[in-house]
Amino acid sequence: MDTVVVGAGITGCFAAYFLARRGLRVCLIERAGIGGQASGVNPGGVNPLHGPGIPGPMLPLALRSHRLHVEHSKAIAELSGMAVSVRPVSRIELALEESDRPPLEAAARLYDETDGFSAEWLERDALLREEPRCTERAIGGLVLAGNRMVDSATYLEAVSRASRALGATFLEATVRGLRTTGSRVTAALTDAGEIACGSVVLATGPWMQEPERWLGATLPVAPLKGELLRVRLSGSPPAHDVTRGPIGLYSQPGGSAWLGGTREDAGYDTRPTELGKSTILAETTKLVPEVARAEILSHRAALRPVTPDGFPVVGRIPGWENAYVASGAGPKGMLLAAGIGELVACLLGGDSLPTPIEHLAPERFR
C-alpha cells in the first residue's frame, strides 16, 4: 500500500477519501467496523463559526472544511450509492439573562461578516413568535443561518464507501504495532497480518497511547466523554435548532431530535449514566420546556479526542519521515474532518497547503 490509515472514524475516512482521489493505494484499518465510536454518535453539526480558536487561527480550516463538505457531497453520494445530505439548518442561540448578550453580539458580527452566513437578533416576543417552543424565560435569541448538518452515522458510511469506490481498501483488524527501519515506517502489524506501506496516518481518535509508544512520540490526545439523548417531541419538529452554549436541541429528519450534551473527563468509560441523562434533560428543558414530555428513543455516550490546547494535531510526526497524525478535533470532529483529510493528502503529496497548519503541528507538544 502507498498509505495505511489507522482509524476509520470520520477523520480517517476523509483522509482515505482524499488520498484515494489522488490515485494512491490506501488501506483503511479499523478494529471495530465503521462508525462504532464518536463519529457515528453525534448530532452531525457542520458549524464553522464557533469553537476553540474561532475567531482566530482555527477559522480558515473551519471555513475550508465547511466548503469541502458542501462541494464534495454530490461526489460522495454518487460514489457511495447512498443518499447524502449536507443540509442547511437554522439555529437559535438563546439568551436567558443579560450576561448572555455580549457573546451573542460578537457571534452576530462574525456571522454577518462571513459570506453565506447571517444572524438576526430577536427580542423575546418576536422570538416566541418565530419558535413558540422556546422558553418564555428567554429575553431574546440570535437566529443563525448558514450552518449545515449531516446524519452522522449515514454520512460516515457514505464517505467510507466513496473512498473504497475510488480504490481504497478496508480491513477490519487491530493494529498491534508498526515495523520501522531507521526513521521510516515500513509496515503496519495487525492481527490479520502485516501490511507493507509507504507511509502511515494515525487517525486513532483518543486512542493514541499505543501509537505514542510505537513511535516514541508525544501526541497528547485524550478522551472527552460526551452523552447524548435522542428523543421524539410531540407535534411537528422544531423549525430551528435551539442552543445555549454547549447545551442544545438539534432537530433531525423524521421528527426526532438529539439532545446534548455533557462533557466529562472519564477516561475510556463509554457507559451512559443516569446522571448524564438527568443533566441533559434538565438543561435542555430550560431551553425548550416541551422536552420534559419527550419520548426518549436512545441514550448514547462516546469519546471525543481532545488536545491540551483544544486544537487538532495534524502533520508529520517529529523524527519520522513518513508517519503522520490526524486527530484531536474534539466536539468539532465532524466539521473539521474534511479539512484535515485534505491537509493529510496535501502533506503526503508534497502540495501547497490550502490553510495554515503551524498551530496544528505535533511539534508544539515536544
Query: In sequence order, which residues have a C-beta less than 8 Å from that of residue 252 and are 6 or more positions away?
Result: 43, 151, 230, 237, 258
Distance in angstroms between the alpha carbons of the first and the last residue of the chain: 30
**Does residue 34 carry a pLDDT above 90?**
no
**Is the model more confident about 39 or about 318?**
318
Pairing mode of beta strands 26-30, 3-6: parallel
pLDDT value at residue 314: 98
- Region 161-189 average pLDDT: 97
Residue (of 60, 28, 70) closest to 353 by Cα position: 60
Dump pLDDT digits (tens) for 261-292. Answer: 899 999 999 999 999 999 999 999 999 999 99
Q: Please give the backbone phi and psi of residue 95, each rounded to the nearest 5 degrees, phi first.
A: -115, 120
Q: Do the two domains 3-81+152-221+308-365 and 87-149+223-306 of this chain adopt the same fold?
A: no
pLDDT value at residue 261: 83
- The answer regarding whether domain 3-81+152-221+308-365 maps to CATH 3.50.50.60 reads yes
- What CATH number does domain 87-149+223-306 carry, 3.40.190.10, 3.20.20.10, 3.30.9.10, 3.40.50.1100? 3.30.9.10
- Region 52-64 average pLDDT: 96
**Does residue 37 carry a pLDDT above 80?**
no
| Per-residue confidence band for 41, with pLDDT thresholds at 50, 70 and 90 | confident
pLDDT value at residue 237: 77
| Per-residue confidence band for 36, with pLDDT thresholds at 50, 70 and 90 | low
Q: How far is the C-alpha of 122 from the C-alpha of 98, rounded, in Å?
A: 14
Query: What is the identity of the amino acid at 199?
Result: S
**Does residue 294 carry a pLDDT above 90?**
yes
pLDDT value at residue 254: 81
**Does residue 132 carry a pLDDT above 90?**
yes
The sheet with strand 175-181 has its strands ordered as 175-181, 184-190, 193-196
Residue 323's H or E segment, with its range, is strand 323-327
**Is the model more confident about 84 or about 254?**
84
Dump pLDDT digits (tens) for 150-160. Answer: 999 999 999 99
Domains of the chain, residue spans: 3-81+152-221+308-365, 87-149+223-306
As a whole-number percent, the residues of the chain with pLDDT over 90 amount to: 92
**Does residue 183 carry a pLDDT above 90?**
yes
Residue (of 55, 45, 83) closest to 337 by Cα position: 45
Dump pLDDT digits (tens) for 203-242. Answer: 999 999 999 999 999 999 999 999 999 999 988 778 899 9
Check: pTM over 0.85? Answer yes or no. yes
- Region 304-326 average pLDDT: 97
Beta bridge partners of 141: 94, 122
How far is the CA of 72 from the CAs of 9, 84, 107, in angstroms? 18, 10, 27
SS3 102: helix
Dump pLDDT digits (tens) for 321-361. Answer: 999 999 999 999 999 999 999 999 999 999 999 999 999 99
